[in-house]
Chains A and B, each alone.
Chain A
Amino acid sequence: MALAAVRRLGRDLAASTRARATGVVCQAEVCSASSTEGVRSLDPATSVSPSWTTRRSRKLCESASASASASASQGGDEYDVVVVGGGMIGSALACGLKHGPLTSELRVAVVDKEKQQGWGAESRRGASVPDIRVSTLTPSTLGFLDRVGVGSNLLPPVSASFDSMQVWDAFGRGHMQFSSPTFLGQVIENEVLKEELQRRAEELGCDFVYGSVTDIAVPRPKVGITKAPEEKPGGDGDRSVISFASGLSISTPLVVGADGAQSLVAKKAGIRFLEYNYGQRAVTCALRVSEPHSTAFQRFLPTGPIALLPVRGGYSNVVWSTTVAEAKRLESLGSKEFARAVDDALRSEPASAGGDVHFFSPATLGSAVSTLLGGRRRTNDVGGDLGQVTETRGEFVDPPEVLEVAGTSQKSFPLGSKHALTYCQRGVVLVGDAAHRIHPLAGQGVNIGFGDVECLMIVLQEALWSGQDYSDLLTLEKYSRERRIANAAMIRTLDAVKSLYQSQYTPLALTRNLGMDILNNSGPLKDAIVGYASSNATAKKIF
């Protein structure tokens, strides 16, 4: 199997090197390793572990490279799909393609900077403190991961799941609680998920190509057959060519940009973005808390939301979005001080209702509302005055006490939203963060990325079913249209939620307090929100 892969990789060189290869056992290894000879002269670092070779063949190369000699392949290898970026989304797409009944035939390569090791589910089980970079996976994302065959490796204790979510704000005790009989979300370290998906992709026969990408030549946007200029020897034609620092290149009809927010693929394809900087930063780290919790807490402070999520091993993870200055200050705090700050932010008493900024007292507003709602609603808990509303249903759960920072100290990252004007171009398609970046307040960033992956899989499948060119703009535009609408809706919603909660204008604050309670007590509406928050599929139905 490995031999076959290597042979395929070194196809161009095979004829010339095979004659020279003296090793009896690893003839094919030499073929592939020999092409690194050219690399060695350029960069001493890459000669030890040739950056462009596939992961599967790498070990073999290392042993054989000393004796190899041949010139580097210029034509490069051809793949049906090349995924640039082997992160969670990129690897998931590779797995997904290999799982589809029609797409499994495609030769898929995943391009990544370097191989990372030691983050697999097995090795992380022993590690005590979880990494600070975590993702919340919704049930629909987990369903997808199950289908590609990694779901079972991600179950607790590798991850932590929460079955309820409590949202409230700094001004009142009006809150919203969501719960699910099974689970609402599962929190997992990004690196664990990434490594599991990479392992699975490799198992399914995807080639991993490691090296730093220097250039991606994408096809010309428009096709003119007879008027088109003669093809260059490098072959721009209908294919993209991905060049590596080592001087080698691979070509493909379809490049998938899964290379994150600073996507090189998007840049090379000339795809433009709508960007919006929130002027905020989020501080995050792992925390040790007084008792493990299975509720995700989120409190909207005037400066931004703070969220406490349960993570593996009884630890918690905090994501605190706040102003840049405040973020810098928080980042510089010591372990104990930061823990105290988080504790304060989560557990401090609501700002006094009769404060000087309030135009109406909660009681006044409450009675006004009850008059408006009349007797009809009196049976439905939302009567009386505001003071009692929070006591009625879905008891307020106090977040656990935050003790100290666990593992690495807190880090901050800038917040903003970014959305590509189109997700595709001829022969190029963007998925995940390469196409969109959103506010982390709903923990949806990675989930809409997985939604992209599923949609792209279906679209490619459909194209193959009707024998269409899967790399054609016609096919890719269907994906772009569908996902752009769904993701734009998510971005707008989060923008709106964020601005609503940041408002300190009292009537608005009180209304949202009340609104939250009304929501909390109305079944169908809440179900719809939970359904939306925990599934990508429903997003489609709304439009």
Chain B
Amino acid sequence: MASGIAQRLWRHADWSLAKSCSKWTPLGGASARRRSGWFSTTSEEASGTARSVDAKEVAKFAAMADEWWDTAGPYGALHRLNYARSPFIRMAVCDHYGKASTGRRPLEGLSLVEVGCGGGILSESLAVMGSDVKAIDAAEESVQVAKKHLKRNALLRSRTNLTYEATTAESLVEKGEAYDVVVSSEVVEHVLDPPGFCKTLSNLCKPGGLVVMSTLNRTLWSYSLAIVAAERILGMAPRGAHDWDQFVTPEELCIMCEDAGLELGSISGMRWSVPKGQFELTKDLSVNYIAAFRKEPPRQDET
């Protein structure tokens, strides 16, 4: 196993380890494409229905559905991640749409879809901020938990517009739905075909809208913190929740999104703060990071 890791590290050493830790610069598309197996599939192949959903991953989360809202349980880290990702989304979306981010419901009037909502940890936060949220997940069990949790909270229900559905992003695209903001947090590392997934997210987004994605970087740091420390030693995340091979570097994400017609707007790292006991935003992209991509407005010459 160790040799496997070493090989992989070697494979990625030249461009993911060194650069993403300190200063991030987008790489030329060509060299990255050569290196990653994902890019071997052409866009035509990836456009099939629900290509992004990995049945194995869905089953993994369905089995643990009961734990979603236990903040001391295996998803505790995701709850604590909200303290970093929600403010990022609040600020990125407000910045993009020219709204004041200080209000109680800054995202009021925006339609938002969350792809891969799980138990609805982030969906509820997004709904509290005022947006009309549609949250979807491929795992039926998780969506049931999310619905149950929402059903219990009468105040949240009466004040927010939040609907859950067990479906895939692809089928929403097929229905022709489009949203002002598309959020997919901690999902892209669990899908089979990340470039196809990015394309789907882009299709779900209205032209001129915003796509926000967060994931884990594929670095030595992320291996030691997210897998060794969090999963195996501290038990902050369920064992086997993550596969380090599937982690996505910011460069790869950026290239995939560029191919999908999305342009990087802002990016920020998220790191665990020991004194606060929660995640906070940071400049360091080496472990967790979150990025907002702008979808280009419709071009005049094409219309």
What residues of chain A have their CB less than 8 Å away from a CB belonging to chain B? Answer: 78, 80, 101-102, 105, 222-227, 231, 237-238, 253, 462, 464-469, 472-474, 477-478, 481
Contacts and interface: CB of A to CB of B under 8 A. Distances in A.
B96 to A, nearest CB: 18
B148 A225 contact: yes
A473 B71 contact: yes
Interface residues of B, number: 37
Given A237-B152, A238-B152, A477-B277, A226 B70 contact: no
Contacts of A224: 66, 70
Given A224-B70, A468-B83, 17 more contacts: A78-B154, A223-B71, A225-B66, A225-B69, A226-B148, A238-B152, A253-B153, A465-B87, A465-B90, A466-B125, A467-B82, A467-B125, A472-B71, A472-B79, A474-B79, A474-B80, A478-B276
B104 interface: yes
Contact of B104 (A78, A105, A231): A105
Given A226-B148, A474-B71, A467 B129 contact: yes
Contact of A467 (B76, B86, B141): B86
Contacts of A223: 69-71
A158 B99 CA distance: 46
Interface string B116-131: 0001000011111100
Contacts of A222: 70, 72
Interface string B56-69: 00000000011011
Contacts of B72: 222, 473
B82 A468 contact: yes
A348 to B, nearest CB: 50
Interface in B74-92: 76, 79-80, 82-84, 86-87, 90
27 contacts: A101-B102, A101-B104, A222-B72, A223-B69, A224-B70, A225-B69, A225-B145, A226-B145, A227-B66, A238-B153, A253-B153, A464-B104, A465-B87, A466-B86, A466-B125, A467-B82, A467-B86, A467-B126, A467-B128, A468-B82, A468-B86, A469-B124, A469-B153, A474-B76, A474-B278, A477-B277, A478-B277
Contacts of B83: 462, 466, 468
* Max chain B C-beta neighbours (<10 A), residue from A223, A466, A481: A466
B82 A225 contact: no
A107 B170 CA distance: 41
B76 to A, nearest CB: 8
A462 B66 CA distance: 27
Contacts of A465: 86-87, 90
A224 B148 CA distance: 11
B268 to A, nearest CB: 14
A481 B102 CA distance: 27
* Max chain B C-beta neighbours (<10 A), residue from A227, A464, A468, A473: A468
Contacts of B152: 231, 237-238
B149 interface: yes
Q: Is the interface of A mostly helix, strand, loop or mixed?
A: loop
A105 B130 CA distance: 13
Q: Is the interface of B mostly helix, strand, loop or mixed?
A: helix
B104 A253 contact: no
Contacts of A478: 276-278
B155 A226 contact: no
Nearest to B154: A78
A477 B79 CA distance: 13
B246 interface: no
Nearest to A466: B86
Contacts of A481: 277
A472 B125 CA distance: 13
A467 B124 contact: yes
Contacts of B145: 225-226
Interface string B130-160: 0000000000010011001100111100000
B104 A468 contact: no
A78 B158 CA distance: 12
A370 to B, nearest CB: 45
A-B pairs with lowest CB-CB distance, top 7: A467-B125, A466-B86, A467-B128, A226-B66, A474-B71, A467-B86, A225-B145
A318 to B, nearest CB: 43
A253 B155 contact: yes
A225 B70 CA distance: 9
Contacts of B149: 225
B223 to A, nearest CB: 27
Contacts of A238: 152-153
A478 B277 CA distance: 8
A82 to B, nearest CB: 13
Contacts of A462: 83
A227 B144 CA distance: 12
Contacts of A467: 82, 86, 90, 124-129
* Max chain B C-beta neighbours (<10 A), residue from A101, A231, A469: A469
A130 B294 CA distance: 66
A429 B129 CA distance: 24
Nearest to B128: A467
Interface string B157-176: 00000000000000000000
A477 B86 CA distance: 19
Contacts of B124: 467, 469
A175 to B, nearest CB: 39
A472 B82 CA distance: 13
Nearest to B104: A105
Nearest to B65: A226
Contacts of B90: 465-467
Nearest to A224: B66
Contacts of A227: 66
A208 B148 CA distance: 32
A78 B155 contact: yes
A293 B86 CA distance: 54
B161 to A, nearest CB: 14
Contacts of A80: 155
Contacts of B84: 466
A449 B104 CA distance: 28
Contacts of B128: 464, 467
Contacts of B70: 222-224
Nearest to B79: A474
A227 B69 CA distance: 12
Contacts of B276: 478
A101 B102 CA distance: 8
A543 to B, nearest CB: 10
Nearest to B277: A478
A1 B65 CA distance: 45
Contacts of B69: 223, 225
A468 B155 CA distance: 14
Interface string B95-109: 000000010100000
* Max chain B C-beta neighbours (<10 A), residue from A101, A222, A467: A467
A468 B152 CA distance: 16
Nearest to B86: A466
Nearest to B129: A467
B105 to A, nearest CB: 9
B87 A466 contact: yes
B282 to A, nearest CB: 16
A303 to B, nearest CB: 42
A102 B126 contact: no
A215 to B, nearest CB: 21
B155 A466 contact: no
A262 to B, nearest CB: 30
